[in-house]
Structure 1
């Protein structure tokens, strides 16, 4: 049986941290002038993959 291949797009977007999978946050790359400082600070906080999506992301990362 051939080796499992990691989905390269998923490998670039998700990082494993302890038991959680860390993900990026949307809406923080451009048009930042109209967003409040509080909103931008909230976008910088770490985000983690939801439990509902965890199994599918693990399959993409060959962790399942």
Structure 2
């Protein structure tokens, strides 16, 4: 199993995601709601280990 490099840098509600190739995507997280620039999906954290996700194809 190869080792994968990932790094996250948080700047307030903005999260920058990096891989071994450099910058990969950015996310916006406000409270329980979040949005990712790569997947363009909205997520909402639910109680426990659950979350709700709306893909870009459904919007």
Asked if these proteins are the same fold (TM beyond 0.5), I'd say: no
Structure 1 or 2: more strand by fraction: 2
Q: TM-score scaled by structure 2? A: 0.25
Query: Bigger relative contact order, structure 1 or 2, given CA contacts below 8 A and separation 6+?
Result: 1
Structure 1 or 2: more helix by fraction: 1
Name which one, 1 or 2, has greater alpha-carbon Rg: 1
